[in-house]
Structure 1
């Protein structure tokens, strides 16, 4: 491409947009990154408080089984800052029937790697646990293109009672309705195990987990990746720049300025992306607008350690789906990762679905007192309000995504958590993949 070539326009400065810009830079393509807000990083937000706490407003770690985030971290010089959850505090509880049960030992996500530990755990009734383990004898579903929900998959393979145990573990990151969440979009690896081994349990036990930690974060918090990428971008980056319309030859900014480009990658969430396409790509706008979203609220609470009667050196707890309470999970962030709280303090993240933040705060304080015996007021609190901002991959999502892509010309791409995965590695991969597709398209144009 000549030095006078039009830039690729990347809309959105979250992790997906930053990753797209980085990939374009690696491939020698000019680009302009446009971010409507006054900061980069999108939903990934790390706050450093004056009293020495590190607060994550969204994700606090990323999975290493998908290599994309760790690879990008190495490329931008962050490898020395990668940290992992602490092994010495790895205890996890499962709340069932009002009791804090020790989470079963020797698990791979929700799959037990030995029968006896699972049977002894009490997370399911004896009958439910035996039915769960009998999954090895359930015939695989006939291969086909038909999608199914997480709930349908679980009940078909593990039994109805298993829903209450698996859903908090599997669907938690999606804040999802298990009766709507697409297996093909969210958990294709379990469908693959069923087809290859005839059983998820058998396949999980036969598949050797890579040695070393499963998750990682950064010493300075998750937004360290966004800041490291941004510091190494040599192209044009504009903050406080809102895109109103995507056109075949570029974008129109708020205020009417027309910015021409050789291609466009829109990485903003579907609810903000759909209006950008409405004027010139009506079919795509309608399809993007049909994508649904779920909501969540995370309440962050800081305490002194002496406000708890017991040892708070644990990673947290998950809540049985039949517990009948608003609480979904708790992470003891101060114990999960080093450097998240000053010595002698406890930092908790308490998770709910669609709750009013004020009510969620009351519930969080009440549950922390009930479950952990906290006494006295927290030192402070922060509410991360993500209501209506968690992508919902409904059954048939991948087919819907294909229709969206087909409704757009090849030099206009959509990418990000609304489409192909909500975790940090998925967003990195989405941005870089969109940039690769566009590079190939422009090279043959």
Structure 2
């Protein structure tokens, strides 16, 4: 792995008299942008409104030994950007992966916990018989699902399509109940609104390349090795590691009021000059900040959001008779319960709970946190047989804070990018992908583009 110094020697640093690039927001996108600029030898100032770095990525280790994730507990390795950055900042020794010995998953359907189908690639079965045996769909729904191999591909078009439209067209209406908990879960999305082009372009491509997702999935090799990555100290260790390597000007408790083409105005009235600005905060926060650019601000403000609440509960293992050596469960979309999914962190990843204790996280859409907590307790009791009250609880409250990626999202994002001046960029989960690897890539891409632009201008000066 290259050190900080060797990483930056591939680039010619700008003169120290060069005005810095200002990064607004110290989440994973902003931290990644700062790291990229540092490697490019470009001066930067990172401004974070809160008193910590990492944004949604926040980990708490309690005094009694529970490791609590406020948002993501891992990231996918199929997109290499986050894993690459973790190597660059020296986190190899801290890498952790979901446990294989507890890789049990259930599917709640008809009030019963069914074994999740084996031999899937995402939601696509790699053999017919194991899918038939699972019972996650009715016999009729199962056969319609497997008949996807005989559904002709949609003629090539630039027109966007919702997840629901795509799934019903290819797999049948009942398939939504099985696919939505997996495919739409990360987006907390309404499947009738979620954009396929923005969220799942790989499936659109597979349809065109192979004529069928089942045929394409079976024709392409299944990924070997680990699929997800985390860290022994939780995902917060990732943000901390990046932050610890930054040598530029990083300021906490410094909210930005307004972004201009050559400066930013802080909430206290101070104006900081900049050669460029990367706005790496969520769209609902960025829109009023970008009021100088009326069209872009309006388009950003029009981006839709969804709401979710995650409730984490701790128990003594003796108080839950169910075998908790599992990763969790997903809920059929037609089940009629508020619970959407449950993750058993104490079994999914090492070091998440003290011995003889259980840590579960329950996911809900559109509930108040206190209501979600009561629902979580009731479901752990109903489904897993828990007795007594949990030892403690924690919230991840993301009401109105999840990007919705509605049909037409990519076109709207392209309009946003075009409506901003060349030296002002917006980046992050609101625009080009909600996962941690997407945010890393967005931050570094925006930083790279501005650095190249500024260096080109410097060369002409």
Q: Distance in 2 between matches of 1:217 and 1:209?
A: 21
Aligned to 2:311: 299
Give CA deviations for 1:61-100 in whole Å, capped at 9, x if unaligned: 1000000110000000001111111011001000000000
Deviation of 1:211 after TM superposition, in Å, equals 1.6
Q: 1:318 aligns with which of 323, 330, 355?
A: 330
After TM superposition, the score normalised by the length of structure 1 is 0.99
- Once residues 174 and 310 of structure 1 are traced to their aligned partners in structure 2, the CA distance between those partners, rounded to angstroms, is 30
**How much has 1:209 moved relative to structure 2?**
2.5
Which residue of the partner structure matches residue 338 of structure 1? Answer: 350
| Cα deviation code 1:11-63 (max 9, x no counterpart) | 00000000000000111100000000000000001010010000001000100
Residues 218-275 of structure 1 deviation map (CA, whole Å, 9 limit, x = unaligned): 0000011110000000100000001111101110101211100000000000000000
1:191 to 204, 215, 218: 204
Give 1:45's match in structure 2, choosing from 46, 58, 63: 58
SS state at 1:327 partner:
coil
- The match for 1:387 among 374, 399, 406 is 399
2:139 matched to which residue of 1?
Answer: 126
Select the residue among 420, 423, 427 that pairs with 1:408: 420
Find out whether 1:257 has 2:270 as its counterpart: yes
User: What is the alpha-carbon distance in structure 2 between the residues aligned to residue 422 and residue 72 of structure 1?
Assistant: 17
For 2:311 and 2:228, locate their aligned partners in 1 and report how far apart those are by CA, in whole Å: 22
2:453 paired with 1:441:
yes
Secondary structure of 2:400 counterpart: coil
Q: Find the counterpart in structure 2 of residue 116 from structure 1.
A: 129
Residue number in structure 2 paired with 1:245: 258
Cα distance between partner residues in 1 of 2:370 and 2:52: 26
The residue number in structure 2 matching 1:139 is 152
Alignment-derived partner of residue 245 in structure 2: 232
Deviating runs (4+, > 3 A) in structure 1? none
Partner of 2:301: 289
- 1:443 CA displacement: 2.3
How far, CA to CA, are the matches of 1:316 and 1:310 in structure 2?
A: 12
Separation in 1 of the partners of 2:409 and 2:251?
32
Q: Give the TM-score taking structure 2 as reference length.
A: 0.96
Distance 1:10 1:379 in 2: 41
- Name the counterpart of 1:210: 223
Contiguous gaps of at least 5 residues in structure 2: 1-13
Cα distance in 1 between the residues matched to 2:284 and 2:383: 37
In 2, distance between residues paired with 1:201 and 1:261?
51
Distance 1:136 1:242 in 2: 53
Structure 1 residue 346: Cα displacement: 0.2
Partner of 2:381: 369
CA RMSD, Structure 1 to Structure 2 (Å)? 0.7
The answer for the alignment partner of 2:114 in structure 1 is 101
For residue 389 of structure 1, give the secondary structure of its aligned residue in structure 2.
strand
Give secondary structure in 2 for the equivalent of 1:331. Answer: strand
The aligned residue for residue 15 of structure 2 is: 2
Please give the secondary structure, in 1, of the residue aligned with 2:399. Answer: coil
Task: For residue 115 of structure 1, report the CA deviation from its aligned partner.
Answer: 0.6
- In 2, the alpha carbon distance for the partners of 1:161 and 1:339 equals 39
